[in-house]
Chains A and B, each alone.
Chain A
């Protein structure tokens, strides 16, 4: 019952605020009101109080104001019957608790009695800068605040190791029955420091606030949220909810003080996983998922916490015996190298991904049904079925085909493996070298498991793979899968700019380009190359208040320019009323703004009646007389610069590549590396527009780095841009 938790938390909060008041009175009496009250080496005063209230406490005297706020936040304890709503009240009790605890912890320093021995106490700003960034940028998947103690030293070590293995930062505080987990680890000789990701703060429950004031500083430092009023405090808390994947592990009995602290943590969106049978709070809202999950066995605690907080663990190395890299994607396995091949009309084969409920999928389960590939003679043929079950809280039916389409790319990354086709027509070859190195059927599963989790963390929480090599089973599943594929085809048939009603916005970069809005359509991906229309849709599904919002196209104002009433209105509002119209299909007439993340920059070359495109990786000179970085300074920052445009690489291969300005045939120059990388796609597009061989007419740095050289080349190859209507 949540009321039990609310009651305990509110009682605990009352105790903490009274304790802080008493200790403050005592300190003022012995040290004087003007005595300094601070943590060592921080520019954030008492960081949590600063974050929530904007108050900069520097002296004992100045601590009265936040304590007064804390006392005002204290709600009455819920009654046993006819209670009044207590969720908001309990959360307020939580913030009051944290403010009181921070004063209590700071008073240790004022009183000259900081944490010592195995305990490290307050984390200073220097460590925050080196370690905190990892939490925010995802290098560390999150942090665990372990509160209390495990039943045995061995269990404590096991839990610590499990967390360490996952790169999860571990903060230790509080105790249970006089024992703390930090003491247990110390007893077992486990090294505890920032280097080992095991950070013991203190033995009191109030020391847990040091983990939260670390989180608050992360938001102020890396989130760039300046503290001030209540609204800023809210933003700092929400930043933590969205970006810092922390959780509380409540180990052993949970008393009022721990409940009060937990209520504070929940304000940050940090849920509580308990090993004891305390009441649960399962509905979501303050945290992303459940708030309190209890009675979790010790061996399942970390897995449960990962699930409840939505931590995305990175599998750094895919456990397969051959190299894996995007560089192997285009690799062919020729007949003479061939050990075994699957599909290609000579054996039944399929690959099928389906979404399941969370409880139906055991993450990491890889099963092989039938003989393995080393049972055939080199050059042999086998049937193959790859059935992938994925589950995710945010997974929707619409995302299944998108995920399934990735199989080709993901499997191709393994050295010695070639993959072509999809669904019931895959053609997969595995080389003799790969099989000799130990590559087997289950490794298809390993690759898919690791890569799905890595690349689609927002959608996929669990992946299980079953590999079949018996024809009967395969034929049976293909029959089922075909029905599903037919349904999917019907759903996504012909998704073009014209066939959808909404495009998606991306305002992810408004933190530094406040007037920039990306408009992402099915045929024009975001300029950073990271977001296509479906990603926008998925992102909106995941966080409907996030940076990707659906924009109703509204009435079409100019089909040629790709200008829509709804898009204009949205852009106008979201660019702080600086951009009143935007065309999706032109780089000259009201082009889209650019933030700064563009993969490529396009620029107009009036002399050539065409445009050049240069990618971020290319450091040389362009015929415009400017390098990428000079151009970037010109284009970025959220302003419309007619004649220049930041775009994603794949945009070039789109049907909607600047059609208003003449389309692909305007492209007169691009770096060779970029041309090679996109060659296949560009060739297809060139064929579509009836200009096969066009790609070879595009100049690159090997033939031209000046306008003169460029013009000479264009004349020589008969580039169509020269014959097109004048651009300007």
Chain B
């Protein structure tokens, strides 16, 4: 790697500092491993290698090449690519949905008094959900209502027939489309099993049918598992409201015990935040020379506790090892998803202890301390206690914490947006819809997803988002993308004056919001769906998602979960721009279908664009097209050339 490339690779100064340190100390990070692998598997990238059965693996040739384009069983490239894609969707759906299941189970335990330490903090949301799910309210305590709501939600997973309850939140027109296509999910688990079955050797070989099967499992995530996760987390831990916090490695404290929470579920992290305030533990920390106990997060667990508790975020996915390399992490808790096995090596260079807390995720080289919800407070105290004791082992001379952190405002949910747009009495979405109709805001775009070592760190998110803001697009964010933008100050209200077009600026100024709204973790993409529902309900900008001037983008995606999210967005009528293509380019038919023909079916489609600025312009053109179809006014502050 030449120096100039290294310079280009490193934009976030905190990360630059830690990567330099890793180099000096000889600690390998994700970038080193990526570089070491050299070129990655081209066949896998094109989606033309089938490993589903042991007649193969069949590594097919591209059309035009001399290698056959048919596998041993006779499956062609389209089948092979579509099967892979459908399985990706099912895998992503499984991850999100299983998270949702854990939350539902915790709610059930809480309602039954089996999870001391947890309570129902969002009773308002519980009641609203009960009404929606047909759970009786009258004469029942919150616990009784919660028990039944939890049961109804748990039943969504095992349900065999009918339709998932939250599908009925979607605009009627959208539901009709799904019904006609036969993709309304029956039960979350059922759809995932269905995909695993139909993608078996010798079952479904029609690429469209395979993709539709995959979409059904993706919808079971977006309008099922993820919604259960988000909504029940709100019931248990409270619906987030706007909150100030800080982001980036600089939130680690040299003078305090640092406990990092990483992964995706908030259940443990919430308990950890409580335990960190335990007087006995604080006392012990003081005895050992620490001025306090600092809890900070990585990835989506971080987003969860940021949204609800204002807990600082140390970094996004790519920064997990870098956080370790500060030498200041006393305990690094991980639960599920996006935990790099490479963390272990980084930890081994310091006193830091990685504690794996999920029964599902055993990671060699870490301490396995399964977290049990039935004794959450005690578990959490034990874990924080270990961290405090471990502080004594910290080599202070090896602590290097980059002095970079950024203020952010987060906590934007469908509920909190409703309030902030009108207060207790006049809350509602009219001001937002008006802003779109009048041409102050061009549209609303969700910029979400992962960050990948294949791109310049964070940069694709920043370039895409700033370009959108410049064009008066209100940006809604989740996941690692939100953290990336947080690090450069895009999640601050002041950012409107620096980055937003004049119309968007006026709206941000009127409401007092940042131009990019942090809506939470990756399962909280369900919040973006419910926000779109509100926009449709308020009226005037489209009767279903495909008519709304909205779009989605995942410029740095790499996870199966991102594929699932992308597909449920596309199936919900939303243009979704990916920063790198799906692994399907080997099949013209599959590529044409998901980037084109599917629009005539669901109203949404994928676009692949590796240049984030071009991606943003593609989105702007799409929003303009939607605005025109709705006969909305031209953008208020845009000079339209004469004759245009």
- Which residues in A have some Cβ–Cβ distance to B below 8 Å? 1-3, 6, 52, 73, 78, 81-92, 94-95, 230, 233-234, 237-238, 267, 281-286, 291, 396, 544-545
- What chain A residues lie within 8 Å of B512 (beta carbons)? 2-3, 6, 78, 83-87, 89
A88 pairs with B409, CB closer than 8 A: no
B592 beta carbon closer than 8 Å to chain A: no
A81 to B497, CA, bound (A): 12
Max chain B C-beta neighbours (<10 A), residue from A52, A87, A233: A87
Apart from A84-B512, A88-B419, A286-B422, list 10 A-B contacts with CB within 8 A: A2-B510, A3-B509, A85-B242, A86-B511, A91-B423, A94-B423, A237-B425, A267-B423, A284-B438, A285-B431
Known pairs A82-B492, A282-B506; A87 contacts B434 (CB<8 A): no
A87 pairs with B425, CB closer than 8 A: no
Known pairs A81-B494, A83-B493, A545-B539; A285 contacts B422 (CB<8 A): yes
- Which residues in B have some Cβ–Cβ distance to A below 8 Å? 242-244, 407, 409, 416, 419-427, 430-435, 438, 440, 492-494, 506-507, 509-513, 538-540, 631
B244 pairs with A82, CB closer than 8 A: yes
A82 to B495, CA, bound (A): 10
B439 to chain A minimum Cβ distance, whole angstroms, is 11
- What chain A residues lie within 8 Å of B424 (beta carbons)? 73, 88, 91-92, 95, 230
A87 pairs with B409, CB closer than 8 A: no
Within 8 Å by CB of A95, from B425, B438, B494, B540, lies B425
- Considering the complex, give the chain A residue whose CB is closest to the CB of B441: A283
- Considering the complex, give the chain A residue whose CB is closest to the CB of B417: A85
A84 pairs with B539, CB closer than 8 A: no
Within 8 Å by CB of A85, from B492, B494, B506, B511, lies B511
Within 8 Å by CB of A88, from B244, B427, B438, B538, lies B427
- What chain A residues lie within 8 Å of B631 (beta carbons)? 396
A702 to B252, CA, bound (A): 97
- What chain B residues lie within 8 Å of A6 (beta carbons)? 512
- Considering the complex, give the chain B residue whose CB is closest to the CB of A546: B539
A-B contact pairs, 20 of them (CB 8 A): A83-B493, A84-B243, A87-B510, A87-B511, A88-B422, A89-B512, A91-B423, A94-B423, A234-B426, A237-B425, A238-B426, A267-B423, A282-B510, A283-B431, A283-B438, A284-B431, A284-B438, A285-B421, A285-B422, A286-B422
- Considering the complex, give the chain B residue whose CB is closest to the CB of A291: B510
Known pairs A6-B512, A87-B511; A285 contacts B434 (CB<8 A): yes
B546 to chain A minimum Cβ distance, whole angstroms, is 15
- What chain B residues lie within 8 Å of A285 (beta carbons)? 421-422, 430-435
A6 to B513, CA, bound (A): 13
A283 pairs with B426, CB closer than 8 A: no
- Considering the complex, give the chain B residue whose CB is closest to the CB of A90: B423
- What chain B residues lie within 8 Å of A84 (beta carbons)? 242-244, 409, 512
A144 to B419, CA, bound (A): 29
- What chain A residues lie within 8 Å of B423 (beta carbons)? 87-92, 94-95, 267
Max chain A C-beta neighbours (<10 A), residue from B407, B416, B539: B539
B539 pairs with A87, CB closer than 8 A: no
- What chain B residues lie within 8 Å of A94 (beta carbons)? 423
B426 pairs with A286, CB closer than 8 A: yes
- Considering the complex, give the chain A residue whose CB is closest to the CB of B513: A85
- What chain A residues lie within 8 Å of B244 (beta carbons)? 82, 84
- What chain A residues lie within 8 Å of B513 (beta carbons)? 85
A283 to B637, CA, bound (A): 13
A523 to chain B minimum Cβ distance, whole angstroms, is 24
- What chain B residues lie within 8 Å of A230 (beta carbons)? 424-425
B506 pairs with A87, CB closer than 8 A: no
- Considering the complex, give the chain A residue whose CB is closest to the CB of B420: A85
- What chain B residues lie within 8 Å of A234 (beta carbons)? 425-426
- What chain B residues lie within 8 Å of A281 (beta carbons)? 510
- Considering the complex, give the chain B residue whose CB is closest to the CB of A5: B510
A267 to B427, CA, bound (A): 10
Max chain B C-beta neighbours (<10 A), residue from A1, A88, A94, A282: A88
A228 to chain B minimum Cβ distance, whole angstroms, is 13
A669 to B72, CA, bound (A): 83
- Considering the complex, give the chain A residue whose CB is closest to the CB of B173: A552
A81 to B493, CA, bound (A): 8
Max chain A C-beta neighbours (<10 A), residue from B430, B431, B512: B512
A48 to chain B minimum Cβ distance, whole angstroms, is 12
A219 to chain B minimum Cβ distance, whole angstroms, is 13
A228 to B478, CA, bound (A): 39
A82 to B514, CA, bound (A): 9
A402 to chain B minimum Cβ distance, whole angstroms, is 16
A283 pairs with B435, CB closer than 8 A: yes
B422 pairs with A91, CB closer than 8 A: yes
A111 to chain B minimum Cβ distance, whole angstroms, is 30
A281 to chain B minimum Cβ distance, whole angstroms, is 6
A459 to B527, CA, bound (A): 37
- What chain A residues lie within 8 Å of B409 (beta carbons)? 82, 84
A718 to B87, CA, bound (A): 77
Closest 5 interchain pairs by CB? Answer: A285-B431, A91-B423, A544-B539, A85-B420, A86-B512
- What chain A residues lie within 8 Å of B494 (beta carbons)? 81-82
- What chain A residues lie within 8 Å of B432 (beta carbons)? 285
A1 to B512, CA, bound (A): 10
- Considering the complex, give the chain B residue whose CB is closest to the CB of A545: B539
B493 pairs with A91, CB closer than 8 A: no
B431 pairs with A87, CB closer than 8 A: yes
B540 pairs with A87, CB closer than 8 A: no
A92 to B509, CA, bound (A): 18
A3 to chain B minimum Cβ distance, whole angstroms, is 6
- What chain A residues lie within 8 Å of B431 (beta carbons)? 87, 283-286
Known pairs A283-B510, A284-B438; A82 contacts B493 (CB<8 A): yes
- What chain B residues lie within 8 Å of A52 (beta carbons)? 425
A166 to chain B minimum Cβ distance, whole angstroms, is 27
- What chain B residues lie within 8 Å of A81 (beta carbons)? 494
B440 pairs with A283, CB closer than 8 A: yes
A115 to chain B minimum Cβ distance, whole angstroms, is 28
- Considering the complex, give the chain B residue whose CB is closest to the CB of A75: B423
A286 pairs with B430, CB closer than 8 A: yes
A236 to chain B minimum Cβ distance, whole angstroms, is 9
A281 to B440, CA, bound (A): 13
- Considering the complex, give the chain A residue whose CB is closest to the CB of B493: A83
- What chain A residues lie within 8 Å of B510 (beta carbons)? 2, 87, 281-283, 291
- What chain A residues lie within 8 Å of B540 (beta carbons)? 544
- What chain A residues lie within 8 Å of B416 (beta carbons)? 85
- Considering the complex, give the chain A residue whose CB is closest to the CB of B506: A283
A8 to chain B minimum Cβ distance, whole angstroms, is 14
- What chain A residues lie within 8 Å of B433 (beta carbons)? 285
A73 to B427, CA, bound (A): 13
- Considering the complex, give the chain B residue whose CB is closest to the CB of A6: B512
A86 to B512, CA, bound (A): 5
A345 to B492, CA, bound (A): 68
